[in-house]
Structure 1
């Protein structure tokens, strides 16, 4: 469950390290975002090695797709899926990934639909 003011790890090579959730998209009174939801984030820290070549700047506002959460996600077959950290991947206004690579695993839930591009650039699928 991601809500406003949650600090998230950016798990792609866009240049950002941490981002803070500003708004949860998807409804008038939607408070929490889950796996596969889109939120609006502000970049709060950049990666040290890529500060000069970064695609983003500190303080910029972007949309982001939630790719990992600590909260448990129960699948239809009864198995439970959860991760060690909360992570997002930055997307542009056309909902395409800003980065060219996603670090770490991606849930199989994101393989279908309009986010199939994320499965192609990720390192693994769970």
Structure 2
């Protein structure tokens, strides 16, 4: 579960390394975000190799889609899956991904939530 001021890793090649959650989208009383939710984030760190060619800059504000959480999620067949880190993918204002590639697997739950663009550029599905 992700809430305000949570530090998250970035799972794409946009140039950002870590981001901080500013706001959880989806209603004014919503405090926590889970897998597949949208949040507003601020870039905290950039990757060392791509500081000059980065698509993002430090302290810029973006929307992000949560693709991995430490809290497990249940699959329809009864199995539950866990990830070792909380990570997101950055989104621009039009709702498209900032990056061209997502590193690591993405859960199939995102297919039901109409995020087909993110599944097509990801490394694999769980």
The TM tier, using the shorter chain, reads over 0.9
Secondary structure of 2:4's partner?
Answer: coil
Secondary structure of 1:3's partner?
Answer: coil
Tell me which residue corresponds to 1:110: 110
Secondary structure of 2:114's partner?
Answer: helix
Root-mean-square deviation (Å) = 0.8
Displaced runs of 4 or more, over 6 A: none
What is the TM-score normalised by the length of structure 1? 0.97
Structure 2 segments unaligned to the other structure (5+ residues): none
What is the TM-score normalised by the length of structure 2? 0.97
1:76, distance to aligned residue in structure 2 (A): 2.3
Tell me which residue corresponds to 1:60: 60
Tell me which residue corresponds to 1:36: 36
1:29-70 per-position Cα deviation (integer Å, ceiling 9, x unaligned) = 100000000000000000000000000000000000000000
1:113, distance to aligned residue in structure 2 (A): 4.2
Q: Distance in 1 between matches of 2:125 and 2:76?
A: 17
Secondary structure of 2:115's partner?
Answer: helix
Tell me which residue corresponds to 1:15: 15
Secondary structure of 1:114's partner?
Answer: coil
Q: What is the count of residue pairs matched by the alignment?
A: 126
